[in-house]
Structure formats: structure tokens, C-alpha cells
């Protein structure tokens, strides 16, 4: 099946999710996400992880596989996304928290459109799941 994009991705893969639990720093562990799903959340984001550590450290990866990661290098982003794509519906790039600003990740990459474009294009080309 081809990778769905845009509205088709939202409608089919995410089943038109309207009740979304956004990622929360140090508060989006698996237990919280499972509880949120039982209470009606249709889509739950994970906490952010550092992509470089996720790629290089098997223990870190095993302990945190169900979490979101951060990266500001297209190759590292795609490496970690390839490791995680079989365990999620999509890979999300954005985080608007101050920790992302300090590390130059997530939503704060919008200040560098060329870098952001390289990350998204490479991820779109290499991944079997969409990038949001």
C-alpha cells in the first residue's frame, strides 16, 4: 500500500482523530498515553528523545522506543526514523517547547527553511510512514 499523505493520511491512518493529547515534557510516558486512550484520546504524542543517542545506544532505544525524538540533521533524523517507523503511524518533527529552542530542534527549525526542507524531503523519500 502506498504511503498516504495529507487528508488521506489523517482520514485513514489516524481515523480522523479529533481528540489529541499533545506531547508534554517529562509527562508523556506510555502509561499516561494508554490512560489517555482509554479516556477517549484518539491520538497521543510521545515525549521527545535525542535522535543521535537513539541511533547509537541500543539500551536507550529499547527503553524509549515508544517516544518522540528530536534531531536537526537530515541524515540522523532519517536514521532514527527508520528504526522507529515500524512502531508508529507517523514521525513528527515539531516541538514548540523551550528545550527544543535551546537544542535547535522541532518547531524552532522554522528559522532555517533550507535545513527543514532537507529533513522533510529526505524523510519523505526514505520512510514508509508520513512525516508530520
Residues designated as active site: 95
Cα separation, 69 vs 67, in Å, equals: 7
The DSSP result for 50-104, as a single string, is: EHHHHHH-HHHHHHHTTSEEE-SSHHHHHHHHHHHGGG-S-B-----SHHHHHHT
Neighbours of 46 (CB within 10 A): 22
The answer to whether 130 and 90 have CB atoms below 8 angstroms apart is yes
4 contacts 12 by C-beta, under 8 angstroms: yes
* Spatial separation of the C-alpha atoms in residues 89 and 16, rounded to whole Å: 13
Amino acid at each position: 500500500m502506498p504511503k498516504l499523505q495529507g487528508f488521506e493520511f489523517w482520514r485513514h491512518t489516524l481515523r480522523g482523530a479529533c481528540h489529541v493529547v499533545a506531547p508534554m515534557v517529562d509527562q508523556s510516558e506510555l502509561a499516561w498515553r494508554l490512560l489517555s486512550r482509554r479516556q477517549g484520546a484518539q491520538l497521543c504524542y510521545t515525549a521527545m528523545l535525542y535522535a543521535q543517542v537513539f541511533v547509537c545506544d541500543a539500551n536507550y532505544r529499547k527503553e524509549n522506543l515508544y517516544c518522540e525524538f528530536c534531531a536537526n540533521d537530515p541524515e540522523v533524523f532519517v536514521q532514527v526514523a527508520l528504526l522507529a517507523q515500524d512502531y508508529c503511524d507517523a514521525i513528527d518533527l515539531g516541538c514548540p517547547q523551550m528545550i527544543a529552542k535551546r537544542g535547535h530542534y522541532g518547531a524552532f527549525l522554522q528559522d532555517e527553511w533550507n535545513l527543514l526542507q532537507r529533513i522533510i524531503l529526505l524523510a519523505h523519500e526514505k520512510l514508509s510512514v508520513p512525516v508530520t
